[in-house]
Amino acid sequence: MVLQYTTKRIIYLIPTLFILSFVVFTLVRLIPGDPVLAIAGPDATPEVLEEMRIALGLDRPILIQYGVYLKGLLKGDLGTSLRTHQPVRSEIWRRLPSTVELAAAGMMISLLIGISLGVTAALRPGNWVDASTRLVSLLGVSSPTFWTGLLFVLAFGYYWRLFPIAGSGTIRHLVLPATTVSLTSLAFITRLTRASLMEVFSQDYIRTARAKGLPPARIVIHHALQNALIAPLTVAGLEFGRLVTGVIVIETIFAWPGIGKLLIDAIQFRDWPVIQGLILTFALIFAFVNLSVDVIYAVLDPRIRLE
């Protein structure tokens, strides 16, 4: 059943990606500015600009350009960068691992701390621990990541000099951007874990386990958490997709060499093929994460059916 559901979802995804590719292909060309002028520079003569436009195929009607692009897309070719003249697929694959590394580190921090805080708050509702946890969650949801990132750069990188503020390569380079990325997800997971666990605590089977004299730790770990974590883990899967596709600002602040930085550079230089390739990559990642979450959701709780 899982295989049938997965196959059906993949089949539905194919026309969606084709429609998305046409929409993106059209909208990208509405971005103000001429990519040829951005590449050649303001001092280029009209003759040079025209020659470059013909060489890049930008002088053709837009439907013919899309037809050429779609033909390459069917072969797995995302085109060639107008700025670097490198295959877009190679540019993305070279940067994608860094973005996935940053998103995975942020997600790990969110899960470890968020679930721990949520469980702690649910075990003692109404006391100062619960109030403090809810306050931290509220701050995490409310604080813009770019503002938090800049504060981390100033505090931990500039004044105290505890961590590097730019680049990648070591665990110390990863700490500040991963922590910044994790804050919003951490807040959501904390609040959702607390709410889910308190709801589970009110169920009859938990009251039965308490009446049988089971230790509180066993009740929480072996009986309550399995059901309470379904919602937080579902959100975690969706949040991971959001982190991979939404770390553009963080990668720019910390000069992290991921696809977010690549997208900023592509927009700056009007590099249409790179922008198109990145948006399609984002769509594929988000679709894959959503599909994985649906399957995991059903595996965790057999009562849930995919169809």
Residue 104 in domain: yes
- Number of C-beta neighbours around residue 110 at 10 A: 29
| 261, 154: one domain | yes
Using the 3D structure, point to which of 44, 64, 87 is the last residue of a domain: 87
Mean pLDDT calculated for residue range 240-255 = 83
Q: Are residues 244 and 269 in the same domain?
A: yes
Same domain, residue pair 121 and 183: yes
Do 138 and 284 reside in the same domain of the chain? Answer: yes
Q: Do 141 and 72 have their domain in common?
A: no
At 2 the pLDDT is 66
Q: Is residue 305 part of a domain?
A: no
For residues 162 and 238, the model is more confident at 162
- Asked, for residue 130, whether it belongs to a domain, the answer is yes
Of 25, 53, 87, the one marking the end of a domain is 87
- CATH number for 161: 1.10.3720.10
Query: For the chain, what is the mean pLDDT?
Result: 85
Q: How confident is the model at residue 298 (pLDDT cuts 50, 70, 90)?
A: low
Does 306 reside within a domain? no
65-123: pLDDT as tens digits:
999 889 988 888 898 888 888 999 999 999 999 998 999 999 999 999 999 999 999 88
Q: How many residues does the structure list for the chain?
A: 307
pLDDT digits (tens, 9 = 90+) for 18-44: 888 899 899 888 877 778 887 777 778
> What's the whole-number mean pLDDT along residues 214-234?
82
Mean pLDDT in residue range 266-280: 88
Query: Does residue 160 lie in a domain region?
Result: yes
Q: State the residue range of the domain holding 197.
A: 89-300
- CA count, 13 A, side-chain hemisphere, 217: 0
**Is 307 a domain residue?**
no
68 and 147 together in one domain:
no
Instruction: Assess whether 250 and 159 both reside in one domain.
Output: yes
Question: Residue 287 falls within a domain, yes or no?
Answer: yes
Last residue of a domain, one of 87, 116, 132: 87
Could you tell me which of 293, 257, 237 has the C-alpha nearest to residue 101? 257
% of the chain exceeding 90 in pLDDT? 24
Output 41 or 301, whichever has higher pLDDT. 41
- Determine phi and psi for 74, rounding to 5 degrees: -65, -25
Question: Residue 155 has what pLDDT?
Answer: 94
What is the amino acid identity at position 163?
F
**Residues 290, 143: one domain?**
yes
Whether 150 shows a pLDDT value over 70: the answer reads yes
Domain tally for the chain? Answer: 2
